[in-house]
């Protein structure tokens, strides 16, 4: 029997899963960092060689076996843990918005799991980041949350448990090549903050500001970027702001799964305000 054994981070796993799916070969995944849930999901994000997002591809099946070896993951750079936390947090902020009106029981359960996962990451995230060790229960909880539970949410929620603005903005930001080479979750984290600002501004969500303050506290503790400038990109040069707004609002963008209308002007205004003035934490 021919199968592919994939070891690596999100991009390696996604590329290997896509190749295996194209050839109808089963895969075993061995994530070497907690940075994404790519080891579990039946989805591949496809990028150019320079890391520019092209498209999401739904695969026929998820990997046959996922080997999560805590001892391997313990050796990964701390930055990958912080990135994984931001990416896993997005599950709640995005799916609770896009799928809140879906009556399918499994989708509702997936959304509630993403809420419990968010709470666990808010509680254990800082401790896990400070002491990366298989002896630290918080670290084990967070690693399993990022690499396993986040994948489970996509598994039972399926296509209806969708991504929304945070990943749409991520996909757009990757179109601008940054010398900082930010990780997937680092960009998604900035995307969550911008999504919450859109919710506050366009959808009049009064709780969004509180969520932003809560997230910024955690993101600072995890040394995560909180603005596009901190990702190494100046949106006010090279027409970058316009490029990000155009890609975010293109026809097949996930941003259109939001339960309210968004256009390029909204994106430009929100990013401009966000990049010019940082929210006060207290």
Q: Which residues bind Zn ion (CB under 5 A)?
A: 87
d(Cα 130, Cα 205) in Å, to the nearest integer? 33
Closer CB to Zn ion, 200 or 254, in the complex: 254
Q: How far is the CB of 62 from Zn ion (least distance, A)?
A: 16
Q: What is the DSSP letter of 160?
A: G
Distance CA 30, CA 202 (A): 41
C-alpha closest to that of 38 among 21, 5, 15:
15
Q: What is the dihedral of CA 35, 189, 253, 24, to 10 degrees?
A: 10
Q: In terms of CB distance, is 107 or 188 closer to Zn ion?
A: 188
Residue 200 and residue 153: Cα distance in Å, rounded?
26
68/264 with CB nearer Zn ion: 68
Nearest to 73 by CA among 11, 13, 146, 125: 146
Is 76 in a helix, a strand, or coil?
Answer: coil
* Residue among 141 and 174 whose Cβ is closer to Zn ion: 174
188 or 268: whose CB is closer to Zn ion?
Answer: 188
CB atoms within 10 A of CB 40: 23
CA angle 118-224-145, nearest 5°?
30
Residue 5 vs 46, nearer CB to Zn ion: 46
Name which of 14 and 87 has its Cβ closer to Zn ion. Answer: 87
Minimal distance in Å, beta carbon 36 to Zn ion? 6
Q: Which residue has its beta carbon closest to Zn ion?
A: 87
- The per-residue DSSP string of 87-133 comes to HHHHHHHHHHHHSTT---HHHHHHHHHHHHHHHHHHHHHHHHHH---
Q: How far is the CB of 163 from Zn ion (least distance, A)?
A: 7
Q: Closest separation between CB of residue 280 and Zn ion, Å? A: 28
Half-sphere exposure of 138 (CA within 13 A, CB side): 15
* 154 in Cβ contact with 106 (< 8 Å): no
Residue closer to Zn ion (CB basis): 167 or 197: 167
In the bound complex, what is the minimum distance in angstroms from residue 162's beta carbon to Zn ion? 12
Token pair recorded at residue 170: 């991520």
Torsion 231-197-261-207 (CA) sign: positive
In whole angstroms, the minimum distance from the beta carbon of 87 to Zn ion comes to 4
Q: What's the closest the beta carbon of residue 175 comes to Zn ion, in angstroms?
A: 16
CB of 254 to Zn ion, least distance (A): 11
């Amino acid at each position: 029997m021919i199968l592919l054994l994939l070891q690596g981070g999100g991009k390696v796993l996604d590329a290997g899963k896509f190749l295996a799916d194209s050839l109808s070969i089963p895969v075993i995944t061995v994530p070497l960092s907690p940075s994404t849930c790519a080891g579990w999901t039946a989805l591949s994000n496809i990028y150019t060689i320079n890391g520019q997002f092209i498209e999401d591809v739904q695969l026929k099946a998820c990997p046959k076996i996922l080997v999560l070896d805590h001892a391997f993951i313990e050796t990964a750079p701390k930055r990958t843990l912080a990135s994984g936390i931001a990416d896993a947090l997005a599950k709640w902020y995005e799916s609770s918005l896009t799928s809140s009106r879906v009556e399918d029981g499994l989708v509702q359960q997936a959304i509630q799991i993403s809420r419990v996962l968010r709470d666990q990451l808010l509680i254990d995230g800082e401790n896990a980041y400070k002491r990366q060790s298989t002896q630290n229960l918080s670290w084990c909880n967070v690693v399993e949350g990022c690499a396993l539970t986040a994948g489970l949410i996509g598994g039972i929620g399926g296509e209806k448990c969708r991504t929304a603005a945070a990943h749409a903005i991520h996909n757009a930001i990757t179109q601008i090549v940054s010398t900082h080479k930010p990780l997937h979750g680092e960009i998604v984290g900035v995307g969550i903050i911008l999504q919450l600002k859109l919710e506050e501004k366009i959808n009049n969500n009064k709780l969004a500001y509180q969520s932003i303050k809560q997230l910024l506290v955690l993101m600072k503790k995890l040394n995560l970027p909180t603005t596009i400038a901190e990702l190494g990109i100046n949106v006010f040069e090279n027409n970058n702001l316009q490029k990000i707004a155009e890609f975010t609002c293109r026809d097949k963008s996930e941003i259109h799964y939001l339960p309210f209308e968004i256009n390029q002007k909204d994106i430009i205004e929100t990013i401009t305000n966000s990049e010019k003035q940082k929210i006060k934490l207290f």
